[in-house]
Structure formats: structure tokens, C-alpha cells
Amino acid sequence: MKFFIDTANLEQIREAYDLGVLDGVTTNPSLMAKEGIKGRDAVMKHYVDICEIAQGGDVSAEVISTDFAGIIREGEELAELHPQIVVKVPMIKDGVKAIRYFSKKGIRTNCTLVFSAGQALLAAKAGASYVSPFLGRLDDVSTDGLALIEQIVLIYDNYGMGTEVLAASIRHPMHIIKCAELGADVATCPLQPILDLLKHPLTDSGLAKFLSDAAKTA
């Protein structure tokens, strides 16, 4: 399973890459706003900065248009910015049409805001490179987000669909582990859940004992 970091914070992206386990980055307009990025030029430059840190990994950059012509215009501009850019398109009618258009032109896409298996099926049929089911947001409304990941993986496997399942809106390390068990292709999450995977009290106490015993042999 690939690990993507879900942030537009350059320091956190650098820290995650330094760990050596990162495969890409996802962003969205809320994450860009959180970093105080303002104005089209600044937004475009920020995407390029992220691509340069991301060491060849895919970087999802989201369109903000909701009509077909606007999505195409924005998506083509984003795709031209850097070869690592994957155009993130919302799961709406014009979005699905745009994904089909981009797919025919060889522009890679990430279909975002997916909350049902039917939506995931449409995204794959349209030729999306990635589909992003938001599992944490489903959990937030008392619906089983992981069950959706399982359902999409099964459907795509049934038909050998090439779209990669990018589990998004991940909130904690168990989400990551369960996604790996279910066969998600990618998990995207903030830095903290990735760092939380490191932790185990027996590792800490075991290391403390080894170090104190090593001191006896020094």
C-alpha cells in the first residue's frame, strides 16, 4: 500500500519524506487555505514547491470549477504545471465527464468526495486514475467508512478495473492498518497518524532495557 500525506504544509511534507516511506501528496482547497496561500499565482507556485519536495511522487491538485468547461480549463493548466500533478476532480456530473476527457488525453485524475460504491463505479468507468472515498467523514456521520473501502476494492477486483483506491479522510493509525488489510492501493492522511504507527510501549521499554544493559558492557 502506498502512503500519501494529506496536507499542503511544506514542513510536514518534508518531514514525512525524510522518514523515507512516503509515495505522494494529496491537497484540497481547505488545506491550501489553512496554509494561508492566497491568489492564483501563489497557489500554482505552491503546487510546484510540493512537487519538488515529493521526490517523483504523485501530487493531487484540486480544481475549483464545477462546470465541464471550467474543470477542463483548470485541469489542463494544473497538469501543465508539473509532470507529478494529478488533477483532483469532484464527483459531480460534469466532473465525471471531465475525468473521461482527461483520461482520453492522458491526464491523470483523482476523483474526490466519493461516499458510495456507485460513485466509485462511475469514477472507474470514466477512467479515473484514483478514486478517493472519504472514510473518516463517513465515520463522522455514523456510517462505516471502512465497509465502503472493502466494497470498492471488491468491485474493482471483480472487473480488473485499473482505478486505484485511495483511502482518504483517514483519522488514526487503525484506519491505515485496516485499509492495508482490505487491499486499498493508497492511504492518504495527515503526518500524525503516520508517526503514530511508530509507537509501541514494549518497543520503548525494550529499548530502554537494551540501552541500560549495553551501558553495563561498555
Active site residues: 88
Q: Which of 12, 84, 163, 169 binds ligand E4P (CB under 6 A)?
A: 169
Pairwise CA distance, residues 102 & 88, whole Å: 11
Q: Which of 168, 176, 184, 194 binds ligand E4P (CB under 6 A)?
A: 168
Say whether residue 109 binds ligand E4P (CB under 6 A): no
**Contact partners, residue 19, CB within 8 Å, separation at least 6:** 194
Q: What is the closest distance, in whole angstroms, from the C-beta atom of residue 190 to ligand E4P in the complex?
A: 7
Element housing 26 (H / E)? strand 24-26
Q: What is the closest distance, in whole angstroms, from the C-beta atom of residue 206 to ligand E4P in the complex?
A: 33
Q: What is the closest distance, in whole angstroms, from the C-beta atom of residue 113 to ligand E4P in the complex?
A: 8
Say whether residue 129 binds ligand E4P (CB under 6 A): no
Cβ atoms of residues 29 and 6 within 8 Å:
no
Could you give the string, one character per residue 48-87, with x where binding to ligand E4P holds by CB under 6 A and - elsewhere? Answer: ----------------------------------------
> 31-65 burial string, b = 16+ CB within 10 Å, else e?
bbeeeebeeeeebbebbeebbebbeebbbbbbbeb
Half-sphere exposure of 15 (CA within 13 A, CB side): 12
Say whether residue 123 binds ligand E4P (CB under 6 A): no
Identity of the residue numbered 217: T
- The footprint of ligand E4P (CB under 6 A) covers 6, 26, 28, 112, 132, 134, 136-137, 168-169, 188
